[in-house]
Structure 1
């Protein structure tokens, strides 16, 4: 990618050299209709051959994934919190026990006043992707659809991409050391198919399509939720002028990003490289001038 374009809106595929790129494709994840079924996790693993994590309840919630990793390219977050005044709010996840056999309160006792917030987390396929900038082997590349993919046969396991990611998405497998993450099913979308996770989602919480159309749809959805009383509804990762130039996978949230474990103001870690190289070049020229002046002065 062109480092000089890090500070404004960008269509990443043409910027990466694709002269006849198709529309940018991506994900819109509407957390207000996520039911935590984890069908997306299963579909992702089955299609991409991602190893199983094992059955390990974390003891803190109904989640057994715990977050994104080399072996979890989709991870459904379960957040339990006190319900806002007036109940769960329009579009919010139901309070614990609603519609779940065996989970309701005992006879004569009130229902607990909290709700579940659920979100299927995934790689953001950033417009300005620091993982691409720091990869020394070219294992990470930008596709014609604007997404970011790791080539496992090129990755040398250096791990530079892991701290570079502002979202903590990229991870290494312990057995081989290589980096792994969501590819947005590059093999499927290249054949005109829907990514496995979106195809399997029963509530259309995960929506796939042209990014410009998804952004319009997401804005309309937020307006509808707010009109219905869910005043906390907001979009995350849709702004082309944010610290990563907008995400190729963005979200509708029902609370602050931090509640979902997302950074409130993500910034691409390599955004200052152009100015750093410029200052380094200036310093080198200055040093060369000082050395040359000292040498000439010494000869005189």
Structure 2
């Protein structure tokens, strides 16, 4: 843990106990965020539609990409929610089933607390290789330590009282520094506009006590919204239930305050490695190395000054 985090102030990396307080909100409400349980995502894209409708986001193409049933490719200025469709061959992620299968009994178990309702293993009694879907609704992570916010020269990006990160388009000058600073590749510049846009976690809705549009529209509660501490506890319980049911590949991604961004405000339950979903396995905030960089720069400056002084002294002789 960094020194800033120990005393409750702002920190460049590591756990940050009071994100909103460090941003200047002494009486802020509890930090909120998203928990996305991919095991119950059905790929309906209701979250994408609701996000676009509420935030008046332009359409970003209605043609299939040729990469599964996906017409949005990934997150960007015109896609603040993206539902990934990952095709996999062969059953995995749960107990192997062979022999005769009662499909009605199997269907009746879907959606219970013990088993996932989404990308369950496909049963193939005769040994054929089958296909399963992994579906996940991706979104801006609203990081504890947000590289995009740290590098913004105009103050266009700011931390809200809810602990989320929002872009003020009327202040953005389109410099684009924030784009490579995001370890998740979330933020992007809008074509023909030049300014950057991304998920606001429906800041306008939070201000009047409403949940974000994507979570409100999700028919399976794959996207869950609430106080971040409660969501983390709920997520850990969900993973334990899945492990008990034999889904041993279930794991959490982005929930730990000890990770490279100090914990994400939007984290996920995954059924495979993060790379399978297009997520970086070990994201790191770009400001993590700033203290070391300044120390190296200072050491280089002192060394250079010593060389100059030594050269001058030799010339006088």
TM-score normalised over the length of structure 2 = 0.84
Q: How far did residue 283 of structure 1 move?
A: 2.9
Hey, what does 2:38 align to over in structure 1? 31
Q: How far did residue 65 of structure 1 move?
A: 1.4
Hey, what does 2:96 align to over in structure 1? 86
Matched, 1:249 2:256: no
- Aligned CA RMSD, in angstroms, stands at 2.6
**Aligned-partner Cα distance in 1 for 2:199–2:189:** 13
**Aligned-partner Cα distance in 2 for 1:240–1:31:** 21
Structure-to-structure mapping, 1:114-263, within 5 angstroms: 114-263=131-280
Aligned counterpart for 2:22 among listed residues 15, 39, 64: 15
1:186-240 Cα offsets, whole Å, 9 max, x none, are: 1111111100000111111101110000000000011111111111111000011
Hey, what does 2:78 align to over in structure 1? 71
TM-score normalised over the length of structure 1 = 0.89
* SS of equivalent to 1:271: helix
* SS of equivalent to 1:272: helix
> Which consecutive aligned stretches of 4+ in structure 1 deviate over 2 angstroms post-superposition?
1-5, 7-11, 87-90, 92-98, 109-112, 281-300
**Aligned-partner Cα distance in 2 for 1:230–1:251:** 16
Contact preservation (8 Å) 1:7, 1:245: yes
For the structure 1 residues 5 and 159, does the alpha-carbon distance in structure 2 shift closer, same or farther, using more than 3 Å as the test?
A: closer
For the structure 1 residues 5 and 117, does the alpha-carbon distance in structure 2 shift closer, same or farther, using more than 3 Å as the test?
A: same
**Aligned-partner Cα distance in 2 for 1:143–1:184:** 10
Q: How far did residue 79 of structure 1 move?
A: 0.7
For the structure 1 residues 161 and 37, does the alpha-carbon distance in structure 2 shift closer, same or farther, using more than 3 Å as the test?
A: same
* SS of equivalent to 2:288: coil
**Aligned-partner Cα distance in 2 for 1:14–1:80:** 43
For the structure 1 residues 137 and 94, does the alpha-carbon distance in structure 2 shift closer, same or farther, using more than 3 Å as the test?
A: closer
**Aligned-partner Cα distance in 2 for 1:196–1:213:** 20
* SS of equivalent to 2:54: helix
Contact preservation (8 Å) 1:29, 1:250: yes
Q: How far did residue 55 of structure 1 move?
A: 1.1
* SS of equivalent to 1:7: coil
**Aligned-partner Cα distance in 1 for 2:122–2:69:** 13
The number of aligned residues is 290
Q: How far did residue 115 of structure 1 move?
A: 1.0
**Aligned-partner Cα distance in 2 for 1:20–1:297:** 62
Q: How far did residue 16 of structure 1 move?
A: 1.5
Q: How far did residue 171 of structure 1 move?
A: 0.6
- Bigger mean CA deviation after superposition, 143-152 or 12-21: 12-21
